Amino acid sequence: MSIWIRSDHNVDRSIPILKLWIDSVKDAYHSIYSEFDEDASSYPGEVGLAHWTDERFSHMMSLRDNALNYARENWADYILSIDADVFLTNPNTLTYLISKNRTLVAPMLYSEGLYSNFWHGMTEDYYYLRTDEYKPILEKENVSCYSVPMIHSCVLVDLRRSESDFLTYRSDKIENYDGPHDDIIVFALSAKKNNINLYICNEDHFGYITVPLEQEDDKSYDLEHLRNIKMDILNSGQSLYVNDLLKEYTDLPRKDTMMFDNIFMINLKRRPDRRKRMNQCFDELGLKVETVDAVDGKALNETFLQTLRFMPDFKDPYHKRPMKLGEIGCFLSHYHVWEEIVQRGYQSTLVLEDDIRFEGFFKSKVHSVMNEVLKILNWDLVYFGRKRLQEKDEPWIEGARYLVEAGYSYWTLGYALSLRGAKKLLEAEPLTKLVPVDEYLPILFDKHPHQNWKGYYPKRDLVALSAAPLLLYPTHYTGEKGYVSDTEDSIIIPEAIIAKEDL
């Protein structure tokens, strides 16, 4: 296998990184042919990092076509063209693409939005056209290899096929070319004019691609897009591995607690995998977080349970059963955090569980939400992640763009809590009429549908809001591969303990 690399017009450390990497792997390849221009950092007439001038397009067309011809001249069977903003995470990608036995084929890549490395439609003048078929392919409603009018950024060409000789990135090589001055469009049209189909395959998870910058965007915005990709990798349970050789080029953000006095993360000691993943997320996001060892429901014995009092009327709304030991441990974990907040006098705190997925641009979105929250003097709790259980609309907070009044909700994935809110949660004495924590909160903000349960808590004045849209989601949903519940997969408390409370 041979490698062909070109890099120029950089405003980062791409070339030193490439040189270091090439020197470390040069003996593993048949050849590595590289050329670097360390002097030029912009094109004439360029008005921004992402401004594509005609000269920039021409340069890109020339480079891509040179790579294609280099592969032909060296009798390569295939050429896999990969742009620098592509991150392949599947080591079997090349083998898979070859197995498809197509002249042109690409692995479908993800971004943090709807952007990918294919088009499903093209206008009459050869520009992008969104179609109804695009999203089902992207979201893998069906998995296959689809014939599409455009693939780009990561493309395998089978050079053994004679028809591949007509492929080009240069418009001057296409007779009567009437399309835009754009490298990927020229390539797609060279295929179309020679009846060569382009295929995008979504049968596996292959990797990621960054969203193209707008002309006015700067490098910091590109880094945020990259951070979103790294977070998505961590959210999926994969690890981010950095070769020791390249660690000097890695930069992690300085950690802070955003506008909060503290951030707590609740985690069971017997879930070190979750703790490791969450700490990696905090490193990438630049979050300073205090880890709280959760109360393990499996460690609760009958003697301890006798010190608690349970709401006698409680039955799980879905499973029609009493509380489980895991639910008790979960409640006590949150309860201990509320106690810490009051003891330390924190005015605002963020509480996180360990099975959460962060939305892209998490920190900036938190700032937007909390800037609105802090203008509201009368607030106690703000859900960042939850399962909404009511179909009817939740009213927007007057003058707010990102806040609604919280209705009946499940899950305590993450929430902001004021000092006043923590005091209310403790003063209600929930350990004397215990229910699961995600039932307790809606009772206290008086949005729970079970009137008899609310009767055990006569003072229900917790002011609960919710971020809209949400900022946190579960890493897995019930029934998905990899789903593990620390509450559902536990023992139901003995009926004798509940019965004793009724005596």
- pLDDT of amino acid 503: 38
- pLDDT of amino acid 483: 43
240 lies in which domain range?
Answer: 77-245
- pLDDT of amino acid 460: 96
Range 208-224 burial, b when 16+ CB lie within 10 A, else e: bbbbebeeebeeebbeb
Do 95 and 169 share a domain, yes or no? yes
Please give the Cα distance from 382 to 403 (Å, whole number).
9
Contact 349, 263 (CB under 8 A): yes
The low-confidence residues of the chain, meaning pLDDT below 50, are 483, 501-503
* CATH code, domain with 222: 3.90.550
- pLDDT of amino acid 487: 55
**DSSP-derived secondary structure letter, 414:** E
Report the number of distinct structural domains present in the chain.
2
Q: Please, where are the H alpha helices in 358-436?
A: 362-373, 419-427
- Neighbouring C-beta atoms of residue 29, cutoff 10 Å: 11
Q: Parallel, antiparallel, or unpaired for β 154-158 and 207-209?
A: unpaired
Q: Phi and psi (nearest 5°) for 181?
A: -85, 80
Joined together, the tokens standing for residue 14 give: 């791409």
- Listed residue (225, 233, 294) closest to 437, CA to CA: 294
Do 212 and 290 share a domain, yes or no? no
Do 293 and 431 share a domain, yes or no? yes
Do 293 and 385 share a domain, yes or no? yes
pLDDT in tens, 46-93: 888 889 999 999 999 999 999 999 999 999 999 999 999 999 999 999
Do 236 and 186 share a domain, yes or no? yes
37 located within any domain: no
The reported pTM is 0.86
Q: Which helix (H) or strand (E) is 106 found in, with range? A: strand 104-107
| One-letter identity of residue 316 | D
42 located within any domain: no
Do 127 and 149 share a domain, yes or no? yes
pLDDT in tens, 268-311: 999 999 999 999 999 999 999 999 999 998 899 888 988 999 99
Please give the Cα distance from 182 to 186 (Å, whole number).
6
Domain boundary among 230, 245, 260: 245
Q: Which helix (H) or strand (E) is 382 found in, with range? A: strand 381-388
Domain boundary among 197, 219, 245: 245
400 located within any domain: yes
Geometric angle at alpha carbon 76, from 68 and 100, rounded to 5°: 90
Tally of CA atoms within 13 A in the half-sphere of 197 that contains its CB: 10
pLDDT in tens, 18-36: 999 999 999 999 999 999 9
Do 124 and 211 share a domain, yes or no? yes
- Render 283-308 in DSSP notation, one character per residue: HHHTB--EEEEPP-GGG--HHHHTTS
